């Protein structure tokens, strides 16, 4: 019975760690995409600005 509790404890700990790591990765990925979008839109604005001035 004790071994079962130890096993459950390790399993829960492992699951919590994996969920924490996964959520961290998801948050990092969302921030990365958001920054990428901002940079891309910024460059797009500059390109349109240049094109507008050239034409």
Identify the domain containing residue 30 by its residue range. Answer: 25-55
Q: Please indicate, yes or no, if residue 29 is contained in any of the structural domains.
A: yes
Alpha carbon distance 46, 25 (integer Å): 31
Answer yes or no: pTM beyond 0.85. no
- Report the Cα 20 to chain-centroid distance in Å: 12
How confident is the model over 1-55, as pLDDT tens digits? 788 888 899 999 999 999 999 999 999 999 999 999 899 988 988 888 888 888 7
pLDDT of residue 31: 93
- Report the Cα 9 to chain-centroid distance in Å: 28
Alpha carbon distance 15, 13 (integer Å): 5
What is the rounded end-to-end Cα distance, in angstroms, of the chain?
80
Q: Please indicate, yes or no, if residue 51 is contained in any of the structural domains.
A: yes
pLDDT of residue 14: 92
pLDDT of residue 1: 72
Name the token pair of 29.
């990925």
Q: Please indicate, yes or no, if residue 55 is contained in any of the structural domains.
A: yes
pLDDT of residue 18: 92
Q: Please indicate, yes or no, if residue 16 is contained in any of the structural domains.
A: no
């Amino acid at each position: 019975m004790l071994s079962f509790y130890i096993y459950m404890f390790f399993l829960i700990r492992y699951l919590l760690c994996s969920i924490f790591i996964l959520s961290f990765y998801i948050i990092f990925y969302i921030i990365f995409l958001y920054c990428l979008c901002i940079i891309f839109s910024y460059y797009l604005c500059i390109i349109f600005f240049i094109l507008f001035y050239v034409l």
